Structures are given as C-alpha cells and as structure tokens.
Amino acid sequence: MKVNANTVEEYFQAIPEERQPHMKKLHQTIVDNLPEGFQVGMSYGMVGYVVPHSLYPAGYHCDPKLPLPFMSIASQKNFIALYHMGIYANPELLAWFQEEYPKHVKTKLDMGKSCIRFKKPEVIPYDLIGELCKQMDPQKWINVYESVIK
C-alpha cells in the first residue's frame, strides 16, 4: 500500500485509522530502543531508520545520495510490516530473532528475507522488537553491510 507522505507524522495520518495506534506504538518502541546515531525519517515511502551520511558518507550502494537504510515500518494492505536489514544480512541475528519470537507470540512467525509481517496488529511483540533494535548500533550495521556488499 503506497502512502504519499513527506514526514513521519503525515505518514501516520495517511494510514487507516485502526492501524494508527499500532504503528505509532511500534515507531515509539523503535525510537526508544535504537542505539544513538540512527536517524528517523521517510525512506522509500515508509517510516525509516537510517545511518545518516554524517556517519557513513558513502551512503546506500544502490543510490549513494540516500543514507544507509537499516529499518523501516509500513502499513501494507493486509499487514503491518517491519523491515530489518540487519536480520537479512546477519545470520546470527536472524537465528536469535527466530528463537526468541515464539517466547513472545503464540502465532507462527510470518517472515520474508528482511520483512516481518504482523497480520494481527494486537499481537505485535513490542518488547521483542525493542530488544531487536538494541542488537546493532550504526557502526556494527556499517561493518555487517560492508562485509556483505564487498
């Protein structure tokens, strides 16, 4: 579901009203737990959490004018999505998350390569998402990113 928004606030206003509390709580959970250095803004039409050019001047290899993406959240047609590039690039982090998930949620993990889908917003494991955010600071993400890209 494409949302036309220039700011995080506009994004939340543009999504369906019933999703807004869940998306706002997910966003706040991420902001409260991300290590210092990440920046919040719009990224690829989603609420994004990136490594700014001030910390990583090379930017994103696909488009160096853009900061290095790390996480995003989006209200999709049938689910709320959390995109986490660290899970995609770091097998140990993926294994940790897959092991922890059932301790927090009774439903089966619905996940793509970097996308975690929450079809029932009321079961989003905010505590687990907070812990996931703490697992990687900007420098660690840059190191993982560069090891995978090169």
**What is the mean pLDDT of the segment spanning 111-124?**
92
Q: Mind listing the pLDDT tens digit for each residue in 69-83?
A: 999 999 999 999 999
Q: Report the distance separating Cα 109 and Cα 105, nearest Å.
A: 8
Q: Give the confidence band of 1 by pLDDT, cuts at 50, 70, 90.
A: low
Q: Report the distance separating Cα 41 and Cα 91, nearest Å.
A: 27
pLDDT at 108 (0 to 100): 93
pLDDT at 74 (0 to 100): 97
pLDDT at 149 (0 to 100): 86
Q: Give the confidence band of 104 by pLDDT, cuts at 50, 70, 90.
A: very high
**What is the mean pLDDT of the segment spanning 25-46?**
96
pTM, to two decimals: 0.94
Q: Which helix (H) or strand (E) covers residue 26, if one does?
A: helix 20-33
- Around Cβ 127, how many Cβ atoms within 10 Å? 13
**Mean pLDDT over all residues of the chain?**
95
Residue 96 has pLDDT above 80, yes or no: yes
Q: Report the distance separating Cα 131 and Cα 79, nearest Å.
A: 22
